[in-house]
Chains A and B, each alone.
Chain A
């Protein structure tokens, strides 16, 4: 199919995909690679990287394996990134579609509601929400979803607004299709590319937000996370750099990979930009 071929022409996007596949494999294989819980001390405390071949990335203050922490952290990051994005996209598409399709007063009300969320700093709101609902994986995921849907709603509204006046949508009205059916079968399939691209980039933002929350101590206490590792290591930045650098690199590489994929999807799906590099 030409879409796959177009995507494959983008070297950056392929590299991003390769990195993401590795991260996913590590996340899936974590319990096999490291059968002992990442919270349990397994070796000598504060082993530097490559000092002991059993712990290639070293150990922390309590003798916990950094490599195991990163493997388990990948699960949390990906899980939260994907689920919160999915929730945010569902909310955003639903509100944006209604606002863009019906217009008028419905549009006014929904967009004022969206602006209400947009005027509050996203991260501050996420902190408050997590603090109110006691930090656990569900509350973190929902908090991230709640702060990240407004851009999706605005995007979808814009797409629906412009597609609604297209002739094939008018034709669907004329043959007697109902509003919800027109939105779902006529307009949405034509608006899906920008939504997918935005969603892919939102996964990266969600991972960053989760790390920031964990860094502030608002992570799930039962699950090892990259942000938590950096947060716990910040007092020892000078004595044991590896405690914060390796989780930091994990975040950097994963977010970069997802951004590359998002950009690759955008280029492959958006025919106007096709061949802009050639």
Chain B
């Protein structure tokens, strides 16, 4: 067989960082190839430089980053020496790209049909009539309902998954030979993610495209990749076929990443928690009303609809659901961060619902929360010490005692004592989340609500924070309500799982039961959509 030119060949590419960064190169000596009809996954954690090559191909690098050596060969022609006009011709025609956040990648003031047609217009493709026909054809092809009317919609009218389909339709408009997908499903719910992945795979097969797929999620890799490149700190640490990398990882970094992938441990049996219930929620109701003036009817959304559950000391309840399922509202109701419309929340037998904020305040110390966003949940103007002592001081603990406790807590969550006098911006996401956990523990709570507390973290950091939380829970015997969109994480850390759908708990039970024998149709759909469920990361690194 005669050697053919690969679709994309990245050859010894290095991109230098300006002085003042923690490393010299954004990416260093990168080499890989992508053949037509192949899906290549570039995997790495945040800051690994996994998006750099894609941006270099599309000319999206910020002005201070310049490739300093190497070549990017597209069909044998070096993109790095092409003129801007030549590049502009290649983009969209030979290579196109879809992005993580489809809402910000679409123009909010143009209908989706116009935006797709514009791609063809700027490349001088066809006339108005043929472009119109092509738009309809594309919308239909990416599986959007009723293309004839949908083309006149504005992006804000579409759901996240539909917007991503529109982005894909735009990318396909000129039948490119190669598609770059930069975390295209990260912002989507798991069931939508499964559909989009399926769509990408279908298109790729039908058109014989080469797909460069950038992701942080090994589950997604297991689902779609033919070849995998693993990156760490700007270097390729391992590459090979999907089977080799996923099931026989060689490099310690890859092994560590794969070991950190959450996976339900089915063999583990948990002791049934016994004793008095700590928290009993009965028929909880919360309705959001919006809009609604004198003459218009308000929009009513049942965020929490007749939810009941019981939680004992030392027990972990996982509340799982997609965005808009009401899982976060449930957490906020329990902590009285929002009003409740009906039902009971009994903490040690005492109903919290009728209490005023002032009457509830002395009890707040028993019910604490770890927030989602480690960057927004710490006051940027306060030192870590101040953040940790605020709570105890507000609850009448003397200052010197609170300070001593704060220093102990820093050690407990694995932070350096010097953190005490520093500000949040000096810490990484994982470290900040540790501070958030320490803040919640500073009040010796009996119940902890963790709302998506690990979702914003890289997988290896996520594993560490989860370990820390489980460890502390065992040590301190606290009850935890673990709110997450990620069934894998919930199954790994929870004693019981409650699946929420449109405000109601549709299924509850021990993780093994929910996972292996889901009864409700929605749970079945949710479980079927988990990326990489046929792949067992535990076996790969055992």
Contacts and interface: CB of A to CB of B under 8 A. Distances in A.
B372 A167 contact: yes
Nearest to B393: A177
Nearest to A190: B381
A174 B360 CA distance: 10
Contact of B376 (A168, A175, A177, A181): A168
Contacts of A181: 394
A171 B371 contact: yes
A235 interface: no
Given A176-B391, A177-B394, A189-B381, A171 B369 contact: yes
A134 interface: no
Contacts of B488: none
B395 interface: yes
A186 B379 CA distance: 7
B380 A174 contact: no
Nearest to A192: B381
Interface in B362-394: 362, 364-365, 367-369, 371-373, 376-381, 390-391, 394
A29 interface: no
B395 A167 contact: no
A168 B424 CA distance: 11
B439 A190 contact: no
Contact of B337 (A168, A173, A186): A173
A178 interface: yes
A166 interface: yes
Nearest to B395: A176
Contacts of A189: 379, 381
How big is the A interface, by class?
10 to 19
A178 B335 contact: no
B394 A175 contact: yes
A175 B367 CA distance: 9
Nearest to A163: B379
Contact of A170 (B337, B361, B390, B442): B337
A167 B373 contact: yes
Contacts of B394: 175-178, 181
Nearest to B364: A176
Interface string A165-204: 0111011111111100100011001100000000000000
Nearest to A168: B379
Contacts of B480: none
B304 interface: no
Interface string B164-186: 00000000000000000000000
B377 A171 contact: yes
B443 interface: yes
A126 B340 CA distance: 47
Nearest to B375: A167
A190 B380 contact: yes
Given A167-B372, A171-B439, A176 B365 contact: yes
Nearest to B360: A176
Interface string B395-424: 100000000000000000000000000000
Contacts of A190: 379-381
B376 A174 contact: no
B337 A174 contact: yes
Nearest to B379: A168
A174 B368 contact: yes
Contacts of B372: 167
Given A167-B376, A171-B439, A176 B361 contact: yes
A174 B335 contact: yes
Given A167-B372, A167-B373, A181-B394, A175 B365 contact: yes
Contact of B390 (A166, A167, A177): A177
Contacts of B390: 172, 175, 177, 185
A235 B204 CA distance: 86
A173 B376 CA distance: 15
Given A171-B369, A175-B442, A176-B395, 14 more contacts: A170-B377, A174-B335, A174-B368, A174-B369, A174-B440, A176-B364, A176-B365, A177-B390, A177-B394, A178-B361, A185-B390, A190-B379, A190-B380, A190-B381
14 contacts: A167-B371, A167-B377, A171-B436, A172-B390, A173-B364, A174-B440, A176-B364, A176-B391, A177-B391, A178-B394, A186-B379, A189-B379, A190-B379, A190-B381
Task: Give 8 closest A-B pairs by Cβ, nearest first.
Answer: A175-B391, A167-B377, A176-B364, A168-B379, A167-B376, A167-B371, A189-B381, A177-B394
